[in-house]
Amino acid sequence: MSSSTEATAMEVGETEESGNTSTTGGSGLNAPTAAAQEERSVVLEEEAGNKSGRHVALHPLALVTICDHCTRVKVGGSLLPVTSRILGILFGVQNGLQVSITDAFELQYEITENGSVKIPAGYVNEKKELFGAVNQGAEVMGWYSVGEHVLPGDLEIHRAMTEWNESPFFLLLSPAASPGGDEGGAAPGVKEGELPARVFETELHMMRGVPSMLFVPVPFRLTAAEAERISVEHVVKAAPLEAASWVDLHVDVVKSSLSALVARVKAILRLLQAVKTGQAPPDRRLLRMVRALCDRLPAAGPSGDFQDALTGDYQDSLVITYLASITKLSSLSSDMRELEGVRVGMYNESAAKHERASPGGITKSPGSTRCYARDDSKVRT
């Protein structure tokens, strides 16, 4: 172990023991809270850790699942009390030093008599089998919690997670954190514009000459597959008004896409014109890219194949629109016939009641040319 790491660990131990240093302690305005002091007893400074070299990629689905779990507990929509701690399992794929945390699920834990967290192995194994059946190669990558600071008891939970992963990760999400670090009451390391989340792994370091397991921050990056990007964009998009048409919204999206395409094509044309007139030096790499882009376009030669295909697609669209209009008109006509049948039935029933109430054999309504016979239900005019 390097001398700088040991010195940093010694400083962490001294901070835990005295709770008062020249930069963080005392009764000044920047004095850390008790939770922050407890965190520093189990978390190593960022510059002294992260020697594993693993690269963590965090997917939006895992974050959305954690946020949903937190929201359900806080608003009382869960079986857990509102004040209970939020814990869950991280699921993902590891390929060498590349780690992808793709999903998560909540953990139904138990609290023992001494206040520690007990993880039910049967529940985790069942969830692991279900997730593994859907996502081939996926495995338990660690666990997550929601809070402002790392607690000393988190090391016990982390050790318990080694049953499913020999080197698990710990994700701490701080939704209530505000930018500014400890001075602003936020979790350490949360800066302006950053995601209020931290990822840790454990390493063995010397604490006052005694080897101890400590949490070490691990850098991570947000990444998303194409399906995740589309889903997240659909979720975060503002709901349209009731009067708005989905067709209009789709047309607006297509219009904006075409406008962006036209702007890029014009930029390429300006570049080619500048190269042709000598105003810009020719860049062979860009010219090859433009040529490759043009080769992907369908040929619109003098044979007119492109125009014929375009005309055929246009006519097919018109035919489909016409057939859809006819189908809708037929449905409306069927509804009108059913409504007319109901009205005729009600009229005949009313006429029959009027006939039974009349003393004579044939009755005639005043001002009407219709006569009703008592011996049958036919109408004679």
Looking at residue 188, its pLDDT comes to 52
Position with higher pLDDT, 178 vs 122? 122
pLDDT tens digit string along 97-140? 888 998 898 888 888 888 788 888 888 898 888 888 888 888 99
pLDDT tens digit string along 6-44? 444 444 444 344 333 333 333 333 445 666 666 666 677
Looking at residue 369, its pLDDT comes to 45
Looking at residue 169, its pLDDT comes to 92
Q: How many CA atoms does the CB half-sphere of 272 hold within 13 Å? A: 12
Looking at residue 109, its pLDDT comes to 85
Instruction: Tell me: pLDDT of 185 over 80.
Output: no
Q: Which residues contact 92 (CB under 8 A, 6 or more apart)?
A: 59, 62, 99, 100, 101, 102, 103, 138, 139, 141
Contact 172, 150 (CB under 8 A): yes
- Rounded to the nearest 10 degrees, how much is the dihedral formed by the CA atoms of 63, 67, 68, 69? 100
Q: Which fold has domain 3-230?
A: Cytidine Deaminase; domain 2 (3.40.140)
Please state the rounded mean pLDDT for residues 45-55.
63
* Rounded CA separation 86/369 (Å): 81
Least confidently predicted of 67-71, 149-153, 225-229: 225-229
* Rounded CA separation 318/296 (Å): 28
Residues of the chain above pLDDT 90, percent:
10
Least confidently predicted of 105-109, 156-160, 339-343: 339-343
Looking at residue 236, its pLDDT comes to 64
Nearest to 32 by CA among 156, 195, 148, 144: 148
**Considering the entire predicted model, what is its pTM?**
0.52
pLDDT tens digit string along 247-281? 676 787 788 889 988 999 999 999 999 999 999 89
Averaged pLDDT score across all residues of the chain: 75
Beta strands 220-222 and 55-58 are parallel
